Homo-oligomer: A and B are copies of this chain.
Amino acid sequence: MIGAIEAGGTKFVCAVGEKATDLRDRIVIPTRQPKETMAEVIAYFKKHEPLEAIGIASFGPIEVDKTSDYYGYITTTPKAGWENYDLLSPLKDAFPGTELAFDTDVNGAALGEYTHGAGQDVRSVLYLTVGTGVGGGFVSDGEIRNGYGHPEMGHILVTRRSDDNYKSRCPYHSHCLEGLAAGPTVAGRLGKSSHEIDASHPVFEAIADYLGQALVSYTVTLRPERIVIGGGLMKVPGLLDKVCQAFEKDLNGYLPIPKDYITSPALGDDAGITGAFLLGQEALLKE
């Protein structure tokens, strides 16, 4: 049996199973303070011992360098109580014989979609989530591609539209993708949630424009064979089509694009927990 944790800023999803495609039990734990939350996580997995491995796909930024003293930490998050939090140690202490694997939620989702979702038939998947924040993960030939730390794709720079004077939500960048196109920018611009409107609303001209620009820049840099876009904002009906149109307009035929290039997650909201399971399974295989 392998355990999986999708650690998010709002909720922790925990699951156990023998196969990624057949998670036999799961629980959802609201994200409160680390001690409380992790006590519930540990209590859940204790009921399912023995576990050969636990894979964790976490919100970030996190430390993914195994040679670092801070490996397994959530680092500079603005989420109160979780800054510089050592998420791996309580699990290590509670499950001493269990292999642990730790990576970002979006890298996990990219691995999930690559292995069992919308990227099963291709060699590389860029997974992008557009929700409270914007983040991306890249899997190529079965491997998560981190570098000097994990990608921070939400902070790619885009050109602000001349008709958009919305103040960036990113405290660092006046015109990065997350600052101008994350879910909360819709409510920020309109004073109402994106659930109340559809993609024909003018605000989505801007959102789709920024996403289209970013997808061109990711494309020329990484050359993924497929791009999977999930996250809460992408559930707005019609938005994915608008993003595809903006991408095509900006790329302007410069490169041959693989078929079914930009798509929704086939695993839906299960991309992350599936990926977390796969992280655990991989750690076990490497061991």
Which residues of A are interface residues toward B (Cβ below 8 A)?
123-124, 136, 140, 145-160, 172-173, 175, 213, 216-218, 220-225, 250-256, 258
Shortest CB-to-CB span from A75 to chain B, Å, is 9
Q: Which residues of B contact A147 (CB under 8 A)?
A: 123-124, 140, 222-225
* Nearest CB in chain B to that of A160: its residue: B159
* Nearest CB in chain B to that of A250: its residue: B157
Q: How far is the CA of A151 from the CA of B217 in the complex (A)?
A: 10
* Nearest CB in chain B to that of A258: its residue: B148
Q: Are A151 and B221 in contact (CB under 8 A)?
A: yes
Q: Contacts A148-B224, A253-B172; is A157 near B159 (CB within 8 Å)? A: yes
Q: Are A148 and B124 in contact (CB under 8 A)?
A: yes
Q: How far is the CA of A217 from the CA of B220 in the complex (A)?
A: 11
Specify which of B145, B146, B151, B255 is in contact with A220 (CB 8 Å cutoff): B151
Q: Which of A154, A223, A251 has the most CB of B within 10 A?
A: A223
Q: Which residues of B contact A146 (CB under 8 A)?
A: 223
Shortest CB-to-CB span from A63 to chain B, Å, is 10
Q: Are A254 and B155 in contact (CB under 8 A)?
A: yes
Q: Which residues of B contact A224 (CB under 8 A)?
A: 147-148
Q: Which residues of B contact A158 (CB under 8 A)?
A: 157, 159
Shortest CB-to-CB span from A261 to chain B, Å, is 9
Q: Which residues of B contact A223 (CB under 8 A)?
A: 146-152
Q: Are A222 and B225 in contact (CB under 8 A)?
A: no
Q: Which residues of B contact A156 (CB under 8 A)?
A: 216-217, 220-221
Q: How far is the CA of A158 from the CA of B216 in the complex (A)?
A: 11
5 residue pairs A–B, Cβ–Cβ below 8 Å: A148-B223, A148-B224, A151-B222, A152-B255, A159-B175
* Nearest CB in chain B to that of A64: its residue: B223
Q: Are B145 and A145 in contact (CB under 8 A)?
A: yes
Q: How far is the CA of A59 from the CA of B152 in the complex (A)?
A: 30
Shortest CB-to-CB span from A138 to chain B, Å, is 8
Q: Which residues of B contact A213 (CB under 8 A)?
A: 157
Q: Which residues of B contact A254 (CB under 8 A)?
A: 152, 155, 172-173
Q: Are A148 and B225 in contact (CB under 8 A)?
A: yes
Q: Are B225 and A157 in contact (CB under 8 A)?
A: no
Q: Are B152 and A220 in contact (CB under 8 A)?
A: yes
Q: Which residues of B contact A145 (CB under 8 A)?
A: 140, 145, 222
Q: How far is the CA of A150 from the CA of B221 in the complex (A)?
A: 9
Q: Are A218 and B216 in contact (CB under 8 A)?
A: no
* Nearest CB in chain B to that of A150: its residue: B223
Q: How far is the CA of A159 from the CA of B216 in the complex (A)?
A: 14
Q: How far is the CA of A254 from the CA of B172 in the complex (A)?
A: 6
